[in-house]
Amino acid sequence: MGARNDSSSTGYRVINVFKSSPCAGLPIEPMIDFLIYPASYEEAESGLSFNEFVELNEGRELELTFFNIASQAPWKTHVTPKKWEGKGLLGITMNQEDFATAHTRVIRVMNFLVSSPLHKAGFRSQSDYILGTESCSFADLDEFRTHVQARIGQEIALFVYNSEDRAVRTVTLIPDNNWGGAGCLGGDLGFGHLHSLPVRPGPVKPLMKVPVIPPPTAEPKKEETVIIRPVMAPVPTVPETRMAAAVAERKRMEPKEKIATVAADISGEIEKMIEQSTADTNAQITPKTKKAPQVMEEAKTEEESVSEEKKKPETEPKPEPERKMMEKTRREPEKTLGIVLKGEIIL
């Protein structure tokens, strides 16, 4: 049951992994991991089915390739087929399906009413995706509805993937037409590309076995490759950049500083000229514009000096040169004074 198979994308959906089986220790996720066979050219050329291939390699370690539809990425692991207490040589059950479109063949639980069969089963709206049952997956909503309506009142074990938990769990659903609401499930479901399985990021599983490559005996000769790179000017460091900026700023400020220096010199010369002119003006004006108290003081000093001269006794002997000069003047008055009268000099 499901979509048609295509040989280029046909795989085996892992339904269950039994405990204590050869595959029990492998990180296989039921319902979202597909076993890819044939996965190599040799496997395809052998013409063997997968069961025949496993039986032929019993007791030998095999490399198996899986594809995870949640991460949309392949991964590989190693297992040794062997007999165990259960059936088969690997201990897994699988259904042959198309893995390329398996992420779209899911049913999304959109919403549901309280006390409905979906609510009682423990579904989570928007993040739960129904993958199928142990026996089948569902190609569309009609196929799921037919499967559910044929089991009213019965338990249905469903594999459900939750996009928030990124894990698969088993949910038991019991359809009921008498739960108190419409339908036998009591909710809305979605199907198609808009409701396909969301891709989870990152790698899902590492390789279980990493092959060990021995070191080479002799170091291979390395080929010399000449790489021609364009010559580029060295990128200036931070100190050089700061130095260049300081020099540019200094050059920019030099004219302004010269102008400021010349202006300061001119201003100083003008101030000196003004001071000199003021001093000269004051020197010329001060004698003519003496203040009244100063004039009065000088007049008083002159009067005092005249009074002192008058108070000196007339009998004070005069100096010898002056006394002789006065006597000569008295004896010869005619010589000191002359009068011109009618062209004659009278002495």
SS3 assignment, position 41: helix
One-letter-per-residue 3-state SS of the chain: CCCCCCCCCEEEEEEEECCCCCCCCCCCCCCCEEEECCCCHHHHHHCCCHHHHHHHCCCCCEEEEEEECCCCEEEEEEECCCCCCCCCCCCEEEEEEECCCHHHCCEEEEEECCCCHHHHHCCCCCCEEEEECCCCCCCCHHHHHHHHHCCCCCCEEEEEEECCCCEEEEEEECCCCCCCCCCCCCEEEEECHHHCCCCCCCCCCCCCCCCCCCCCCCCCCCCCCCCCCCCCCCCCCHHHHHHHHHHHHHHHHHHHHHHHHHHHHHHHHHHHHHHHHHHHHHHHHHHHCCCHHHHHHHHHHHHHHHHHHHHCCCCCCCCHHHHHHHHHHHHCHHHHCCEEECCEEEC
pLDDT in tens, 231-245: 555 555 555 566 677
Question: What digits encode the pLDDT tens for the residues 48-83?
Answer: 999 999 999 999 999 999 999 999 999 999 999 999
pLDDT tens track for 188-198? 999 998 999 99
What does the pLDDT read at residue 252? 72
The 10s digit of each residue's pLDDT in 132-141 is 998 888 999 9
Task: Give tens-digit pLDDT for 210-262.
Answer: 344 444 555 555 555 555 555 555 555 555 566 677 777 777 766 666 666 66
Distance, in Å, from the CA atom of 262 to the CA atom of 331, rounded to the nearest integer, reads 80
CA 82 to chain CA centroid, nearest Å: 56
Nearest to 151 by CA among 129, 127, 169, 135: 135
Which of 137-146, 260-269, 322-331 holds the top average pLDDT?
137-146
pLDDT value of residue 285: 53
Tokens representing 27? Answer: 């990180």
Same topology between domain 10-101 and domain 105-195: yes
The domain segmentation of the chain, as residue ranges, is 10-101, 105-195
In sequence order, the β-bridge partners of residue 36 are 65
Look over the chain and give the mean of its residue pLDDT values, rounded to a whole number: 77
**pLDDT at residue 286 is higher than 70:** no
Q: Is residue 14 within 8 Å of residue 28, measured between CB atoms?
A: yes
DSSP annotation of 269? H
pLDDT of residue 343: 47
10-101 folds as Pdz3 Domain (2.30.42)
Domain covering 105-195 in this structure, CATH number: 2.30.42.10
pTM over 0.75: no
pLDDT of residue 311: 54
| Distance from C-alpha of 339 to C-alpha of 347, rounded to nearest angstrom | 8
| Mean pLDDT (whole number) for 33-61 | 90
Q: Identify the residue with better confidence: 256 or 169.
A: 169
Residue 180 has pLDDT above 60, yes or no: yes
* Adjacent-strand bridge partners of 67: 34, 74
pLDDT at 279: 74
Q: Which amino acid is at 78?
A: H
Of 88-97, 104-113, 302-311, the least confident: 302-311
pLDDT greater at residue 292 or residue 326: 326
Confidence label for 307 from pLDDT (cuts 50, 70 and 90): low
